[in-house]
Amino acid sequence: MSFYQKNLEILSSLFPSILKKLDVPVAQEIETVVTNDGQISFRRLGGIWLHSTRAPIREAERLILKSIPEACPFCLFYGFGLAYHLESFIKKHRNTPFAVVEPDVTLFKTALTLRDFTEIFKSPGFSLALGASPDSIPALLDGKPHKNIQICMLRSAVENNRKYFESCEKIVNEYLSRKEINANTLDKFSRLWVSNICRNLPMTSKVPGIRTLKGRFLGVPALLLAAGPTLEEVLPLLGEIRKRFLLVCVDTALKACLRVGIEPDFLILTDPQYWNSRHLDRCITAHTILISDVSTYPAPLRAFKGTIFFCSTPFPLGQFFESRTEIKGKLKSGGSVSTAAWDFLRFSGISKIYCAGLDLSFPDGETHYRGSTFEERLHGFSHRKIPVETSSWLALMGGNPYLGKNHRDEPVLTDQRMKIYIHWFQEQMKLNQNIKTSQLSPRGIALEGMDWEDPHHLLTLPEIRENKIDRILGEIRLIQCEVPKDLLIQSYNKLLEELDDLINLTKQGVKISEQVLQTGIEPENLEKLNQIDQAILNRESREMAGFILAPILEDLFTGSNQELSKEKILSRSLDLYTRLNASLSFHKDMILTIDFGEKT
């Protein structure tokens, strides 16, 4: 059997669709050379040799030794070549999963004819992106810990496909940055989210879900009002724009709208923190409809006098109750109230969205519109040692700033925090090309797929407020929630039973783990631990403990994938059961604070 047949047989068993991708000729004008150590190297005629023409194995060993530390949970390789570097990696990091990105299908097919790659393809952690779009590369990292992921470049392959790998590098770095920020956010706010959900949960039997609003505004244009500095350019026109557009406002921009005497039709509020709720201080509305979720800070929900709709919460505790009562309707999470507002408009059937104040940058060195709560706080907390100028400078420079381009192709300051939202909006522009989104100022960051228009253009559109927008809003205000309170209480009682069982299981796990560590490993005790693990995995409420434990689990299991001693494995198990027990106990304590009135 030839190298090609042998390699293809293994590859096709792993990736059946690869046969269609490899239905191309082998690369033409290939030059091969036998190296000094008896191996082989190759290149396209006149191109760069993919490996050393003297000692490719030794070159590969040096690359792996230099590029990849011992504690490596996952490695992403740019370039396949003849895989000497992959073989060296497997020898040094035998149990570590890895993926290879190779854009050149014809060159890869040629490589299959030159060497036997059985060891690589049969490695249990191997995955391959062959001729794939750079946008699809993050899929290789799904489910992998974000910490300590290593990227190893076969320099010659990268040089031969520089633009492709530059795109890969940019997309992968943005993906890992988002994962890190999400993990840090989870670590910081997870307990606050649980606390808010428990305090707001009784409202879910009275507040309808946004699923009832799906597609309600087909054919209606909308204006999204965010709190960036350029919001002020639109405020003088807001009264006239309102006659022609549905107005959707984020919580941080509400004060600006009310200042010019305009109530938005919808207000989006999704932040769990106390300080964010202060954006609504002294903001009184008579007709605005609030879109929020059960994990939001409770005070503004209780103070709001108008109609409220909930979207589905992404957090397991809230999902447990939703799945047993009413699914509210999901909005995509982009990490910002502005992303939630845009997705609400998409969900509602809007196909033309204009954005005011969605700057995602700091035009002229400003962070928010003038008079915002953020600006008021800077003045309120300033003193001789920390004046307003210092706090403003920290706000501008505290997020790893860099220069982007605005719609006039001029430099504008933004930062890594904004980069997450920039990427989210650009991704949505690609995924939702039927929705045209425009910014109303050229001074904010220029987003791919989002142009800009002069706000005065909006005044040329027909007035549809009285005969269409207000009619739909009137129908929406009549929608009622039909979840019986008894159903919510039944779910509450069921959850407490589940948590009691899980707490008992983790206590048993702690006890047996301690016993095994003290007296030695016995098959009987290991079987008991396996049974406990299986019982935990079969419980309906297991995701809630994992929600708080996610950062802890990553700390426990991120690092070297080399084989661990049995004692080390048992020590980790003890740590896991102990922390899991603490997480479950926290959930139970919080759930016991839920006040439904008189429980039955």
Residue 503 predicted with pLDDT over 80: yes
Residues paired with residue 403 on neighbouring β-strands, in sequence order: 413
Q: What angle do CA 99, 100, 102 make, to 5 degrees?
A: 155
Residue 425 domain flag: yes
DSSP code at position 445: B
Rounded to whole angstroms, the Cα distance separating 131 from 381 reads 55
Do 459 and 489 have their domain in common? no
pLDDT confidence of residue 600:
40
Residue 51 predicted with pLDDT over 70: yes
Residue 466 predicted with pLDDT over 60: yes
Do 130 and 153 have their domain in common? yes
560/449: higher pLDDT: 449
Rounded to whole angstroms, the Cα distance separating 51 from 55 reads 8
E strands of 275-338, at which residues?
289-292, 308-310
Rounded to whole angstroms, the Cα distance separating 534 from 531 reads 5
In this prediction, residues 159-169 reach a mean pLDDT of: 94
Residue 26 predicted with pLDDT over 90: no
pLDDT confidence of residue 92:
92
Q: Is the pTM of this model over 0.85?
A: no
Determine the angle formed by the axes of helices 162-200 and 542-557, rounding to 10 degrees: 140
Q: Render 10-26 in DSSP notation, one character per residue.
A: HHHHH-TTHHHHT-SPP
Do 461 and 523 have their domain in common? no
Give residues with Cβ within 8 angstroms of 393, minimum separation 6. Answer: none
Do 320 and 285 have their domain in common? yes
H or E element: which one contains 453? none
Residue 283 predicted with pLDDT over 90: no
Residue 193 predicted with pLDDT over 50: yes
Do 470 and 521 have their domain in common? no
pLDDT confidence of residue 105:
95
Q: Is the dihedral of CA 27, 31, 34, 35 positive or negative?
A: negative
Give residues with Cβ within 8 angstroms of 565, minimum separation 6. Answer: none
> At which of 160, 185, 217 does a domain end?
160
Residue 599 domain flag: no
In this prediction, residues 30-37 reach a mean pLDDT of: 93
E strands of 357-477, at which residues?
401-405, 411-415, 436-439, 451-452
Residue 289 domain flag: yes
Residue 346 structural domain: 204-478
Classify strands 411-415 and 401-405 as parallel, antiparallel or unpaired: antiparallel
| Other beta carbons within 10 Å of 13 | 11
In this prediction, residues 52-59 reach a mean pLDDT of: 95
Do 559 and 436 have their domain in common? no
Do 9 and 149 have their domain in common? yes
Residue 19 predicted with pLDDT over 80: yes
Rounded to whole angstroms, the Cα distance separating 229 from 363 reads 7
> At which of 103, 127, 160 does a domain end?
160
> At which of 445, 478, 511 does a domain end?
478
pLDDT confidence of residue 379:
42
Distance of CA 554 to the CA centre of its chain: 16
Do 149 and 13 have their domain in common? yes
Residues paired with residue 25 on neighbouring β-strands, in sequence order: none
Tell me the average pLDDT of the chain. 87
Residue 555 domain flag: yes
Do 417 and 452 have their domain in common? yes
Q: With helix as H, strand as E and coil as C, how does 68-121 read?
A: CCCCCCCEEEECCCCCHHHHHHHHHCCCCCEEEEECCHHHHHHHHCCCCCHHHH
- What the block records as the tokens of 483 is 């979840």
Q: 493-513 as b/e, with b when 16 or more CB fall inside 10 Å? A: eebbebbeebbebbebbbebb
pLDDT tens digits, 512-523: 888 888 877 777
Whole-number percent of the chain with pLDDT over 90: 60
Classify strands 266-268 and 98-102 as parallel, antiparallel or unpaired: unpaired
CATH number of domain containing 562: 1.20.58
pLDDT band at 357 (very low <50, low <70, confident <90, very high): very high
Do 322 and 341 have their domain in common? yes
Residue 144 domain flag: yes
Do 583 and 445 have their domain in common? no
Give residues with Cβ within 8 angstroms of 365, minimum separation 6. Answer: 396, 413
For 445, phi then psi, to 5°, come to -60, 135
Residue 187 predicted with pLDDT over 50: yes
Number of structural domains in the chain:
3
Residue 9 predicted with pLDDT over 60: yes
Residue 275 predicted with pLDDT over 80: no
Residue 516 domain flag: yes
pLDDT band at 185 (very low <50, low <70, confident <90, very high): confident
Residue 357 domain flag: yes
Residue 493 domain flag: yes
pLDDT tens digits, 243-261: 999 999 999 999 999 999 9
In single-letter form, the type of residue at position 491 comes to S
In this prediction, residues 472-485 reach a mean pLDDT of: 92
pLDDT tens digits, 528-559: 888 888 888 777 666 666 665 666 666 665 55
Do 469 and 510 have their domain in common? no
pLDDT tens digits, 339-355: 999 999 999 999 999 99
Select the highest-mean-pLDDT range: 348-352, 488-492, 505-509: 348-352
> Phi-psi category of 425—alpha, beta or left, where left has phi over 0 and alpha has psi -120 to 50?
alpha
Rounded to whole angstroms, the Cα distance separating 217 from 430 reads 22
